[in-house]
Amino acid sequence: MKQNSDLNASFYSPVVRRLVPYVPGEQPKIDGLVKLNTNENPYPPSPRVLAAIQLAAQQGLQLYPDPEATALRQTIAAHHGLEPQQVFLGNGSDEVLAHGFFAFFQHGCPLLMPDISYSFYQVYCRLYGIPVETVPLTESLCLDVAAYARADGTAIAGVVIANPNAPTGVGLALQQVEQLLRLHPRRVVLVDEAYVDFGGDSAMGLIAQYPNLLVVHTLSKSRSLAGLRIGFACGQAHLIEALERVKNSFNSYPLDRLAIAGGVAAFEDQAWFEQTRRAVMSSREGLVLALEDFGLQVLPSQANFVFARHPTQDAAAIAAGLRARGVLVRHFKLPRIEQYLRISVGTPAQCDALVQALASVLAALA
């Protein structure tokens, strides 16, 4: 068998042998689980999105979509007070991030990122051969901007952060994002704002001022469209042009006709967006209080999830106990955070189910 797998691997390019792929959270095949492990929105998308997708499905699926996704680009630009040439679209923000890493960070020197952040960043670095330098978060798992300075002038490839950070949920104030942009004016600072609509401070308003700022958003979280796969980046036109060059060397049509139509409709229904994101934020406050009642320490969250640890019980054991009771949460077996659980904010009923299951798990472990 070993001989066979060696033979099979010999077909791989050397770079593929070295890859360590990202492992997404479990998407269970069994019904009825309370799924609080992948930070999806617990509410469905706007009915207007469904109607737009249905209409698009009836018209022209035999034809390729618009390679520029012009309608969605214009919609997003107008929403953020930008020009369409300041917006880049991709198949989920994961793809947008990947193109960003390829376009901006392959300089042969290290890319700076927090030691605890979205783990896909390091996966892209391996894929594209980008050296990584991790910058430790503080004891309280906050980002320390001063630690990103290079007093000795050594070269860096750029900086990537998530704001709010994942998996901690902790947000960074806009002045500190600006400080990062000023520290490295000749390198791109990529700010991944996947969760910003749940209470974070967006850097979109800084784009006109900073030619090195790229802000990445997704429709997967606050617009309930994880299944449709739409992400986008905003920045000055020269950065967007670079992303277009990469995209057009990779896949002309990352967004299909249904995604373009559904994405436009999602931005047209602001009322739905406001109502659902506020419902999530309000459930979050209740969930934090309930977790604190059990003695858990919960980091301040500006996202649609909370990051919490029990003072004495092992996080992996709690996660396993919750799973046995039909509730999925995310546990990362990683240095510094292996005693934390990341719990996505669900509907009030889902949060109640989590709280009840947690009570039973903690009673069983005590």
Residues making contact with ligand PMP (CB under 6 A): 92-94, 118, 162, 166, 192, 194, 218, 220, 226, 231
- The distance of closest approach from Cβ of residue 275 to ligand PMP in the complex, given in angstroms and rounded to an integer, is 21
CA distance 16 to 121: 17
> Least distance in Å: CB of 190 to ligand PMP?
11
Q: What is the closest distance, in whole angstroms, from the C-beta atom of residue 295 to ligand PMP in the complex? A: 27
The nearest distance, CB 360 to ligand PMP, in angstroms, is 29
Decide whether 216 or 261 has the Cβ nearer to ligand PMP.
Answer: 216
Q: Closest CB to ligand PMP among 28 and 295?
A: 28
| C-alpha 333 chain-centroid distance | 19
CB 251 to ligand PMP: min, Å: 15
Q: Classify residue 280 by burial, with Cβ atoms within 10 Å: 0-12, 13-18, 19+.
A: buried
Strand partners, 111: 132, 158
What is the smallest separation between the CB atom of 189 and ligand PMP, expressed in angstroms?
15
Is 166 or 287 the residue whose CB approaches ligand PMP more closely? 166
Q: Least distance from C-beta 90 to ligand PMP, angstroms?
A: 8
Q: What angle do CA 136, 140, 145 make, to 5 degrees?
A: 45
Using the minimum distance from each CB to ligand PMP, give the nearer residue, 247 or 310.
247
Query: Which amino acid makes up residue 206?
Result: L
Residue closer to ligand PMP, measured from CB, 24 or 60: 24
H helical segments located in the chain: 2-9, 14-18, 47-58, 70-80, 92-104, 120-128, 174-183, 237-247, 257-268, 270-293, 315-324, 348-365
Segment 54-57 long-range contacts (CB within 8 Å, at least 24 positions apart): 55/261, 56/257, 56/258, 56/260, 56/261, 56/262, 57/257, 57/258
Shortest separation between residue 98's beta carbon and ligand PMP, angstroms: 10
C-alpha closest to that of 342 among 365, 362, 316, 364:
316
Reduced DSSP (H G I as helix, E B as strand, rest coil) percent helix, strand, coil of the chain, to 5: 45, 15, 45
Residue found by looking up tokens 């996505």 in the block: 344
Asked if the bond preceding 348 is cis, omega within 30° of 0, the reply is no
Q: For ligand PMP, which is the closer residue by CB, 216 or 354?
A: 216
